[in-house]
Amino acid sequence: MSSPTSWTAAAPLHAARLVLEPLRTDHADEMFDVLDDPRLHTYTGGRPASRAELGDLFARQVVGSSPDGTQGWLNWVLRRHDTGRAVGTVQATLTRRPDGGREAELAWVVAGDEQGRGYAREAAVAVAAWLRKDGVDTLVAHVHPDHHASAGVARAVGLRPTGTVVDGEIRWTS
């Protein structure tokens, strides 16, 4: 097992149309309304979290690392500049490879009624650029083969599909 590592904390980020706020526990109530949509689970499976489950999840995530310290957890809430409305999340799970390099696995979700506007792309590109400046040398995402919008986001971040499939999703990497 790897020894615990001190991880970078999520910083506020800005994109053309979005503010990316580091996740706080008090985001749970607002984000419940954004994420309470079964359509968001079409490709990933599962169901929307209850309000209590989402609160518990956010409480675990804001700690910033796994209990054993081997992963760093960075999470952002995406908020539109023009309306102030929260529209989704981006997360990066950091790990240290045996060669000392750092890898970040990215994931994103945008509210069903806000999809198709490029918010996931804009936010993921901003997060990827910030991670690269922080010294992360490998970016990864897992995308369902039928989720063409997420594949487009992965491409925009500079990822390419590999031949590796994990839990039915294609591993993309830079």
Return the beta strands (E) in the chain as ranges.
13-14, 18-22, 71-80, 86-96, 102-110, 138-143, 160-166, 169-173
**Domains recognised in the chain with CATH numbers:** 13-128 (3.40.630.30)
Residue 16 has pLDDT above 50, yes or no: yes
CA distances from 29 to 2, 5, 7, 52 (A): 35, 31, 27, 9
Instruction: Please state the rounded mean pLDDT for residues 143-167.
Output: 97
The answer to whether the CB of 128 falls within 8 A of the CB of 137 is: no
For the segment 19-65, what is each residue's pLDDT rounded down to a tens digit? Answer: 999 999 999 999 999 999 999 999 988 999 999 999 999 999 999 99
The average pLDDT across 88-117 equals: 96
Mean pLDDT over all residues of the chain? 95
Name the burial class of residue 153, with classes exposed (0-12), middle (13-18) and buried (19+) by CB atoms within 10 angstroms of its CB.
buried
Averaged pLDDT for residues 53-82: 97
The tens digit of pLDDT for each residue in 94-106 reads 999 999 999 999 9
Report pLDDT for 4: 54
Residue from 109, 110, 111, 70 nearest 93 by CA: 70
- Helices 119-133, 148-157: axis angle to 10 degrees equals 30
